[in-house]
Chain A
Amino acid sequence: MVDQLPNLGRELEMLNEMGYESMEDLFADIPNDVRFQDDLPLRGPQSEEEIIADARRLLGANTDLGSRPSFLGAGLYRNYVPAAVFQLVTRGEFLTAYTPYQPEVSQGMLQAMWEFQTLISELLGLPIANLSLYDGSTAAAEALTCAVRVHTRKASQPSTVYVSELTPPDKMSVMHNYCQGADITIKTLKHRKDGTLDMDLVSEAAGSCGVYVEQPNPLGIMDEGLVQLKDILGKNTALIVGIQPVSLGVLEAPGHYGADIVVGEGQPLGSPITAGGPLYGIFACSKAYLRLMPGRIAGRSIDVDGNEAYCLTLSTREQHIRRHRATSNICTNETLIALMGAMHMALLGPEGLNELAHRNMMACQLLKERLSEVDGVDIVHDSPHFNEFAIRVPGKASECLAFLDDHGVTGGFDLARWYPTITDQILVTATDQTRLPDIETLAGQLAVWSTHAEVSA
């Protein structure tokens, strides 16, 4: 039945040659008292055609974002991945390779990852990048533990880090899981009413091991204050900035305003949202963090003939060498998705990235202008936004979103899921994939709901 087994039907021939009679002989070392006594209580096998048909039926029961106007972002952003990326990344030489432990036959992926490191380094304005962590949240969490490893000895607040209070709870939860083992205390930094970081309170964090903020922040705000942050914190506190990589086509690279570590969800460059995974976590840093950073790094070297050659390097930080003293437990990472990112960046070039960033920003701007005209709807923060912004609706955000959903629109993200006391705000997101008619539809339906909500209130 199964077509994946080339030796089906040849078992006895192989067994006999080894001097065995049956397959059972090969499992004689497994004691009977730990054996399954029956067949697995699972369904029967399916043919390839049946699997595809079932996949289409089941996945067809999902509402894909492209099938209707959608304004859901909140950390993941609809994008267009150029056709060449998919065509190339499914080449078997990339797809079916393992971690490049034998560099002589892994030059392709090693060079591609070294190029990826360069692309990321240039994008973020920092000299060093690894070849990916799992996602933006684990990259942020590992940045915190890395900052503590580097700074705790000189810190006046040892084993302490500060994180923006706006950080989504799911991301914060990952940070807590990664930090608790090292007894790291996570404190929060307050934001002002306009959504920007409260710079008057930032000095509290000076002398800690690290500070994590996002640019644009989780409410989509481009926060100009962050450029002063490093001066306030000083050189013994790591400034860690979480970014949306496409925004850096127009926004200053955080490395250029003093960030020591920059992390982010790589997804908007090269990867579909894919229900939240696999994605790739960006991690870049300055030289001071190099030997205590997590993740794999590709280096350029030479072979015995002196020719250019690539290999993994600085492995003595890693678990397979350092075991329980490793800087991280990461082994499998997201190389293939990072490769998609590299391919997308290679196609964009600097001008293409700038254009893509503008499309995202202008779509957001247009959405903001249009929604600000809807009676009853307010733009919560009078600040410049990238991709997304919060709106206040006259009533419960959850009810508004349910109404929009009933009318064929995925309206955005209910901010009560992040900030439980805020029940009347929706984070609405526009990307390069947002179309004008979608915006009109959302504005129209919001107007209908707002009128209705105000009447019934």
Chain B
Amino acid sequence: MNPLPLDLQLLNACASLLLLLSFSMLAQRRVVNLVNLLALQGALLCFATVLVALRTGQAHLYLSAALTLALKVIGLPLLLHRLIRRLGVYWDAEPVINPSGTMLIGLLIVVFSFGLAQPLAALASTATRSTLGIAIAVILLAFLAMITRRKAMSQVVAFLSMENGLFFGAMSATYGMPMVVELGVALDVLVAMLVLGVFFFQIREQFDSLDLHHLESLKEVE
């Protein structure tokens, strides 16, 4: 059996590391580390995009790699770090499900998404299609992280990690989305981040906490 070409091997390694990072984000309880993991995920994504761009020679992928680097590795983490300092949220509260339980559910999710990806990957004609399963797993694991976290801050980080997964999925299935869509999504994420930043302050002012279960009970305020 011939080994894969080196760039595909590197891409597979990148994909595996993305999956590992998703799991460490599930386990991590310090919000600062969570943001650093997100930045690392962005960096891996950027590297993977450059690899695919080198392989396929599609110019727009270089642009989207640059966009990833500027937005997801430098811009958003900086913004999040500033928000963390301003809001003083350094630790997430106890998660809804205990860590080991979350990990086991995470494993089941990975099995599910690998199964889900197999027929999809068979339809795709790209050389990178085998990593589609990992992209779906990253998206679903970010969902899980959003469900199990209590603090608004960590939910937003999980949301951003989900966006990373979507991006990676688009790249493995069709070598990236059209440039217009990509720019639109990038702008959306940036704006969403700014709006959510404002929301954080509003939530904290109302409830003296960023814990979202305060939002679950609807009560008339007299």
- Answer whether A and B are interacting partners: no
Question: Which A residues have a C-beta under 8 Å from some C-beta of B?
Answer: none
Question: Which B residues have a C-beta under 8 Å from some C-beta of A?
Answer: none
